[in-house]
Amino acid sequence: MPEIGILLVSHVREIGDGVLRLLKEVAGDVTIKAAAGTEDNGVGTSFDRINEAVTSFEEPRIWAFYDLGSAKMNLDLVSETTDKNLEIQNVSFVEGAYVAAAMLQANASEASINSELKPLKIK
């Protein structure tokens, strides 16, 4: 089992769930979780949802992928309050998460995964 889990943070629950479904097709052995939408299924992100998802990982490291800047703001807040090793990936949401998940499933080295993610960097 990989030592890295993947967290998907989206403003829309269906987007988070859809990307989760896509990633599970190529990375069945990788822990992947989504924290998408607000508590009342509205559009937005939730510190509490993200924090709860981060806390639930058993893996020592979590790579977080997000769709928009305000999702990153909540991820930044969670990263400041958790003891978990949360690494926010500033890459395109779907493509970046897909590449990371598929390569983790294939037991690729972290260096090779980072090399593949580099062209997908958005900030």
Question: Which residues are part of the catalytic machinery?
Answer: 11
Q: Can you read off the two tokens belonging to residue 4?
A: 């890295």
3-state secondary structure of 36: strand
Q: Can you read off the two tokens belonging to residue 107?
A: 């037991």
> What's the full length of the chain, in residues?
123
70 and 52 Cβ atoms separated by less than 8 Å: no
Helix runs in 3-44, H state only: 13-26
